[in-house]
Structure 1
Amino acid sequence: MKKLIPILVFALAFTSMSAQTESEKSTKEDYNKWSVELAGGFNKPQRPMASGYFTSTPSPYVADLGVRYMFNNKFGLKADFGYNSFQGQNSSKDFDTKYYRVDLQAVANLGRIMSFETWTKTIGLLGHAGFGLAQLEDQNSAWKDRMGNFMAGVTGQIKLSDRIALTGDFTTILNASQDGTFDAATTRTSRGFSGILFNGTVGLTVYLGKNVKHADWIIDNESRLDGIDAKIAAIENKMLDSDKDGVADYLDEEANTPAGTMVDTKGRSIDKNNNNVPDETEAYILKNYGSTTNNSPLLTNNELIKSLINGGYVAVYFDFNKSTPTNVSTEGTDFMLTYLRNNPTATIDIVGHADEIGRSAYNDKLSNARANNVKNTLVKANVDASRLNVIAAGEDTSVDIDSENARRLVRRVTFRVK
């Protein structure tokens, strides 16, 4: 405590200059500065005490009420009123005195100065020191002793919320020009800083103001650092490769590319014939299943082929307002023809789709015409019509109606193996 007192005295002298400097650096004060502090606890008057007079260790009671204003998140001022009660205990001679004081103190937010935020955001530490006036009164007589005082202490903080903090304080008070003893039994000829009193209290601090946080808990450049952290997190998220295609998410225009599919620099499946089936997948299917040889490895894996067909990997595409397939999408019909020939008992649904442009009733008819066009092609290739069921699915509303590229993908016929 003796070492702390010079430090806090220096902080008092330095407060005004530091507060001004910090205010000039701050361009926006978005934190509260005022607070009210209420605490109570125990005390121990050390000296002067007359012979035969003493209190318990510690002894009740202490009450303290203060109002604090912070210039910034490190320095402030506090005005407070204190009350102490002194009474003889056990074998002490009986006495009853009261001690009243009012002080103005400089406050240093030691938690911010020592960067507590690097390891905690709920524990704080304040240092305070200042001067004031006090009066000691004897309750058994009219005797009063007026004096000056110097006090210094430390206050631990536990943040309960943005509005309330739990505090624990230890303070040393030195009385100047104290004529009588704390027990009011005798007077003294030596004056100066002869009186020593220790106070220990527990209390609450209530933060006032319209902002969310108080200066006690504001970290220098907190918003800037939070912004940097957010940017770093965003960059890290963008650098992820969710579909494992070798292209980071922030560059990937096709977020759910099937594993192992070859993609371009923008993460799009390579599809040179624009039939919405990745070339790698399409080549594998056509090479292994399109063959009519008995040693084709996929002839014995119809479940895989069925899942590919039902998953929409095989499709026939159409231009806007047309029921005749585009030239590049006839391979879809050829593939289904091969499948039906190699699986003579299989039946399929031929599902026609249209985009959202135009009236719904017209699009229903258009989707039906597209499905029938594909059916007729298969029938002409000697597939029994009873194996082919036409379904008019009408408008596909799963894509952005304002995107031409998206609408092109839903003007199609898909297949469903039953």
Structure 2
Amino acid sequence: MKRIFLVAFSIITLSSMGQELNFNKWSLDIGAGVHDIAHSLSPGYTIDRPSLWQANIGVRKMFNENFGLRLGFGMNKIEGNATSQPFEATFTRFSLEGVMNAGNFLNFQNWTKRLNLLLHSGVGFGSIDNAIPFNATADTNWHFMLGFTPQYRLSDRLSLFFDYSILFNYFQNRTFNNQNVSGFRHVNSTIFNTSLGVSFAIGKYKRHADFWREKTDSNVAGELNDIKMRLEKAEDKITVLENTKPIVSKEVIVKELDKRYVKKDELTLKQGEVITASNVDFIKELLNRGYVNVYFDTNKTDVQKGSMGAINYLKQFMLDNPSRTAVLVGYADETGDADRNQSLSEKRAKKVFDILVAAGISANRLTYSGGGVDASVTEGARQLARKVRFLIN
């Protein structure tokens, strides 16, 4: 339990020190899409539902991660369809809206890092210009609008959005097809805009306010609980390993040597993968008992290519254990006279000695000698007699 609380305390401290307190507050929103209208069309005038097109652009500033303001400009092109009497109008508008980051209040941070939701509402001023059936002076009006904007973060600077907004126009003097309505002083109309667009974050910080999430107590509690569970599982595994007697086979030995020594320059040891004192004694015994030897061709002192790995075994072992020393003993087969075989065996040991020194092993840690003839093998196995073996001290 002490370890759990120590790790938990460290994480809380590091999180509070490294927590990002600043975010980008400005953004540019650009969108376009379709629209529909309700009311404000005379009999005989109809439009496609939905109709193309409408576009909008806005500059938004978030005062904090929850609330902000947006200044927007938009344009709708409204025209009759194939069954309608001809008309064409352009509705342009300016609006000022308050923006609420609903994703923060709905705790989106508990389940996503890329999705968010904004709500917006405000008022604006608009103008309707008719080109068909005839040009007329602009019909100005005021409007109230509201909407919601789901977002998807592509990067720290760029996000996609879908927006659905409703505009309620007031004090409109004519219909969209440019006709006055008798008996009414003003015409009220409703426009439904559906847009797809992109938001560009502006500022020097990494993250925009839309996706900046402050850690809450529930976040920290969840992280601590996860850490506690992982520590408990690790302690269970350690207990099992401590109570398990290792089973070692020759196949396992060879694979372990290949991993630690032959391919050590090619691989990075995983964290926690260390050579313990018991492993050192075990590998020392393997080398001393002749599991790993360097072999030569008949009457040659050049190491066979296939035996370079054996030299690398010893090199890595000596590098990992700087207090150890080694004796290199060379051998020859039974062919040839005794004096020549003694000289050949010593030259073979000297060859391995030179390679190890060139590889970075101090000459003071190595000695070599000739063992003469290895008579332990028969004529059919003389290849195994032409060797250098290792003795680790």
TM-score tier (shorter): 0.5 to 0.7
Match for residue 210 of structure 1? 204
Match for residue 391 of structure 2? 415
TM-score of the aligned structures, taking structure 1 as reference length? 0.54
Match for residue 136 of structure 1? 128
**Residue in structure 1 matching 2:163, options 169, 174, 181:** 169
Match for residue 378 of structure 1? none
1:68 deviates by: 0.8
Q: Does residue 1:51 correspond to 2:43, yes or no?
A: yes
Whose relative contact order is higher, 1 or 2, with alpha carbons under 8 Å and at least 6 apart? 2
CA distance in 2, matches of 1:164, 1:210: 14
Match for residue 111 of structure 2? 119
* Pairwise CA RMSD: 4.9
Q: Does residue 1:307 correspond to 2:291, yes or no?
A: yes
- The superposition leaves residues 202-232 of structure 1 with CA deviations (integer Å, 9 ceiling, x where unpaired) of 111111122222111112228x969968x94
Letter in 1 for 2:77: S
Q: Superposed, which structure 2 residues align to 1:83-162 within 5 Å? A: 83-139=75-131, 140-162=134-156
Q: Superposed, which structure 2 residues align to 1:16-415 within 5 Å? A: 29-139=21-131, 140-187=134-181, 190=184, 194-221=188-215, 232=227, 236=231, 244-245=241-242, 255-257=274-276, 269=278, 277=281, 305-307=289-291, 364=363, 366-367=364-365, 371=367, 386=372, 415=391
- The superposition leaves residues 35-80 of structure 1 with CA deviations (integer Å, 9 ceiling, x where unpaired) of 1111111111211221222211111221101011112222211110
Letter in 2 for 1:138: N
1:104 deviates by: 0.7
User: Percent sequence identity over matched residues?
Assistant: 26
Tell me, which stretches of 5 or more residues in structure 2 are unaligned?
A: 1-18, 245-270, 294-309, 330-344, 375-389
Flag the 1:182–1:303 CA change in 2: closer, same or farther, 3 A: same
The secondary structure found in structure 2 opposite 1:306 is coil
Flag the 1:387–1:63 CA change in 2: closer, same or farther, 3 A: same
Flag the 1:97–1:245 CA change in 2: closer, same or farther, 3 A: same
Letter in 2 for 1:53: Y
Tell me, which stretches of 5 or more residues in structure 1 are unaligned?
A: 1-26, 258-267, 271-275, 286-301, 326-331, 337-346, 376-383, 389-413
The secondary structure found in structure 1 opposite 2:173 is coil
TM-score of the aligned structures, taking structure 2 as reference length? 0.57
- The superposition leaves residues 110-130 of structure 1 with CA deviations (integer Å, 9 ceiling, x where unpaired) of 223212233332222211111
Letter in 2 for 1:115: N
Letter in 2 for 1:415: L
CA distance in 1, matches of 2:182, 2:148: 30
- The superposition leaves residues 326-357 of structure 1 with CA deviations (integer Å, 9 ceiling, x where unpaired) of xxxxxx99xx9xxxxxxxxxx997999xxx9x
The secondary structure found in structure 2 opposite 1:216 is helix
Aligned partners of 2:162 and 2:195 also within 8 Å: yes
